[in-house]
Amino acid sequence: MKTVYDFAVKDRSGKEVSLSEYQGKVLLIVNTATGCGFTPHYEPLEAMYKELKDQGFEILDFPCNQFANQAPGDVEEIHNFCTLKFGTEFPQFAKIDVNGETADPLFAFLATEKPFEGFGKGVKNKMLEKFSNMNNKAFGDKAYIKWNFTKFLIDREGKVIARFEPTVHMDEVKEAVKAAL
């Protein structure tokens, strides 16, 4: 059975990193953007990272510009923004695509393991779903991720155990992480 440990990604400098380096840890893999309404998620993500990293927890941050061009900078500009504005210390990787023919294989795998089930109820969530559908039309059946700050929780064996859309409250994400630890 395939796990996240079967994948390699590029770090900020372009060097290939095997995710097997994170074997035995609980991971939260996130596609991010610096100019999104969900960008403030960096703050609770960093707080969770600081609190739980010594228990074997890692957040893997993958900037992506496929959602209304909300991550337009290069990888260093994005990194500087995140560290200066939110004090992020968790690993940030190279900017990637998460949808379409150029989608990073890791994200295609994650989304296949835990497909999109909706943004939830409420007017804001319905509006995001409509906007997301318009944005992602170009990707057809390869629209794996619906918006920025989609989070995938990975257990210590490398299996995808949960998917959290950006509309899920960060307290719920944190509780799931703690349960996985």
Which residue in 5, 23, 36, 116 is the catalytic one? 36
For the chain, what is the mean pLDDT?
Answer: 95
Q: What is the pLDDT of residues 35-77, one digit of tens each?
A: 999 999 999 999 999 999 999 999 999 999 999 999 988 989 9
- Per cent of the chain over pLDDT 90 is 85
**Domains of the chain, residue spans:** 4-180
Q: What is the pLDDT of residues 87-126, one digit of tens each?
A: 999 999 999 999 999 999 999 999 999 999 999 888 888 8
pTM: 0.95
CATH topology of domain 4-180: Glutaredoxin (3.40.30)
Phi-psi region of 17 (alpha: psi -120 to 50; beta: other; left: phi over 0): beta
Q: Please indicate whether residue 36 is annotated as part of the active site.
A: yes
Q: How far apart are CA 85 and CA 33, in angstroms?
A: 13
Q: How far apart are CA 97 and CA 87, in angstroms?
A: 24
